[in-house]
Chain A
Amino acid sequence: METVKIKNNSHSVIVEALTKKFGGFTAVNNISFRVSGGEIFGFLGANGAGKTTAIRMLCGLLMPTSGQATVAGFDVYTEYEKIKMNIGYMSQKFSLYEDLTVRENIEFYGGVYGLSRKEIREKTDYLMDYLKLWDHADDLTKSLPLGWKQRMALSTALLHDPDIIFLDEPTSGVDPVSRRNFWLLIYELAEQGKTIFVTTHFMDEAEYCHRLSIMRDGLIVELDKPGVLKKKYNAENMQDVFMKIVRGGKGQD
């Protein structure tokens, strides 16, 4: 078991034979992969294929049944508290407080991540500039359009400057223009050396990923660059690849 902290360009997520069982049901079955720093790693699969369970284990929200995994060099069994300091997480469900203002949300999450008052102030200024939200700083979050909220949620998840970012269907329900803006943000973060771990149902988004893994019935059935997968399945686009793979299993809606 390695517990040495891995820096950029080495592997920031290492998963070996990771398994999660709920009673007799195996949600995640013996999956293994490695993700490097600065990589955008796509995690595809039909609903119920085990994506969310896998992500929850890596985020320290769920104890694995067996197998090994380190995130940012920390073990998921024993060092999940340290993992939490080093990851950002944004789920499909919008998860800022709608009844707090933009500024108050930033202040709250900053405080929870242990930032000092000064740091919180600086971060707030920075994010307001960056997201161009100055006019809405003191508006309730619920009054913002969904696309803005998603970008704000992502920024809030990054207040503590984590190395690895987990995004669980971050763009579901967002219009195409906002989705594009969101992905520009993801690219920017990857260029800063952050590892992005993203699940999505949009196949055009899948094409933006550096590498993709496709899960079916708890197993990773494919793991490669989008271009390589398209060639292998002789497909025009990722949509076709995905349909061909997923049809082979039972874990679909």
Chain B
Amino acid sequence: MQRIFYLMKKEFKQILREKLFISLIFLAPLGQIIILGFAITTDVRNLNLAVVDADHSSMSARLIESLSATESFNLVCILDSEKEALREMDNGKIKLAVVIPKQFERDLKNGRQPQVQAIIDGVDGNSAGIAMAYIGQISRKLQQEWMQKTGVSNALNQDLRLVEIETRMWYNPSLESVNNIVPGIIAVLVMMITAFLTGMTIVREKENGTLEQLMVTPITSMELMLGKVLPLVIVGFILFNVGILGAGIVFGLWMKGNLFSLYLMAIVFMLSTLGLGIFASTVSQTQQQAMFIAWFFMIVALLLSGFFIPIENMPDWVQALTYLNPVRYFMVIIREIYLKGTELLYLWKEALAMLAFGLATIISAAVRFQKRMS
């Protein structure tokens, strides 16, 4: 026990003294929450737009003005034909073209429902859908404006459509996506820091020759492992709380469920990530190798966790693979507890699976560590 105490004390001193670790522990999580939290939204901004105006009327001018007034679009040019617009899109100069037909104003005044065409670069399907929806919104606003001027009856108003819009679930979903992403980021943070730091702090002793020095002392490899890992459990835990606070302060997203249930689950989750770090340390000679190995596993685990990509969208065999991924379970648990306030009782399947994988990972990593040491 005494040896573990001294090891932990030493470990904390080293962590606190290493600028890199400090920034990894505190700045990285806040930075990630802020950057990723804002970046992974479905807002569309400054999409390059061209308008093909075949009508040259006051109403078409009003439409162009409305389109360029929004922050979503950046009006690049006004063209004469659809062909030109398509060429600009091929060249990547614009992402969106709005084509206003001839006699737009006249048809509109006669209640003949002119068709305005929107051509969208669909490479980024998400943005395309949202841009589409924005155009719909702008057109509806204009309709109302003109309706009052022309005095066409409300009944007709109902049928009038400038642009046919398809309503999508993700319309204006920025708030919702933050809610989903931010708890995920907290999970990723805990995973990254514990897996990286565990691997790095163990291998660093190898690199510096201090591990050899420790091995000639009466310290056992179990004591050594605990002494190295326990400080990182505490660090991971602090980080977890930094993440929770960050999410609350920056995004106003506070947990609906029980904090202690989530703490418990976070510790169970860390069994897997610490195990990964220990494993990386047993197969690496340098800190870079340890980081690379931890990174490799983490990326795969992250992609198959449902963090970015919904698991339901994956092919069946990949879906089957995700059941072997502890991160998958933690993603479900943290989102459920965070957003719905789900009781632990209803999450027992995920909790159990995570515990099983955690124990398996950390025990096999520990056994490997012991073998390598003796």
| A residues apposed to B, CB below 8 Å | 59-61, 81, 84-85, 87, 89-91, 93-100, 104, 107-109, 111-114, 157, 166
Contact code string B1-34 (vs A, CB < 8 Å = 1, else 0):
0110111011001100110000000000000000
Q: Which residues on the B side are within 8 Å of A81 (C-beta)?
A: 218, 220
Q: Which stretch (B134-142, B146-154, B192-200, B208-216) binds chain A?
A: B208-216
Contacting residue for A113 out of B13, B17, B217, B220, CB 8 A: B217
| B6-A84 in contact (CB<8A) | no
Contacting residue for B213 out of A87, A89, A100, A104, CB 8 A: A89
Taking the closest CB of chain A, its distance from the CB of B55, in whole angstroms, is 73
| B216-A60 in contact (CB<8A) | yes
Given contacts A111-B5, A112-B3, contact A61 B215 (CB under 8 A): yes
Q: Which residues on the A side are within 8 Å of B13 (C-beta)?
A: 99-100, 104
Known: A84-B218, A112-B217, A112-B218. 5 other contacts (CB 8 A): A95-B213, A99-B17, A100-B10, A108-B10, A112-B6
Given contacts A107-B6, A112-B3, A112-B7, contact A97 B14 (CB under 8 A): yes
| B218-A114 in contact (CB<8A) | yes
Subset of 5 A-B contacts with CB under 8 Å: A94-B209, A97-B208, A99-B13, A99-B17, A100-B14
Given contacts A104-B10, A107-B6, A111-B2, contact A91 B209 (CB under 8 A): yes
**What's the Cα separation between A137 and B3 when bound, in Å?**
23
Q: Which residues on the B side are within 8 Å of A89 (C-beta)?
A: 213, 216
Contacting residue for B210 out of A97, A107, A111, A157, CB 8 A: A97
Given contacts A81-B218, A107-B6, contact A91 B212 (CB under 8 A): yes
Q: Which residues on the A side are within 8 Å of B215 (C-beta)?
A: 61
Nearest neighbor of A87 in chain B, beta-carbon distance:
B216
Contacting residue for A93 out of B6, B17, B212, B214, CB 8 A: B212
Nearest neighbor of B14 in chain A, beta-carbon distance:
A99
Q: Which residues on the A side are within 8 Å of B217 (C-beta)?
A: 84, 109, 112-113
**What's the Cα separation between A107 and B7 when bound, in Å?**
11
B61 at the interface (CB under 8 A from A): no
B259 at the interface (CB under 8 A from A): no
| B5-A113 in contact (CB<8A) | no
Given contacts A60-B216, A91-B213, contact A114 B2 (CB under 8 A): yes
**What's the Cα separation between A72 and B30 when bound, in Å?**
55
| A95-B210 in contact (CB<8A) | yes
B219 at the interface (CB under 8 A from A): yes
Nearest neighbor of B205 in chain A, beta-carbon distance:
A97
Contacting residue for A95 out of B3, B18, B208, CB 8 A: B208
| B17-A95 in contact (CB<8A) | no
**What's the Cα separation between A87 and B119 when bound, in Å?**
80
Q: Which residues on the A side are within 8 Å of B10 (C-beta)?
A: 97, 100, 104, 108
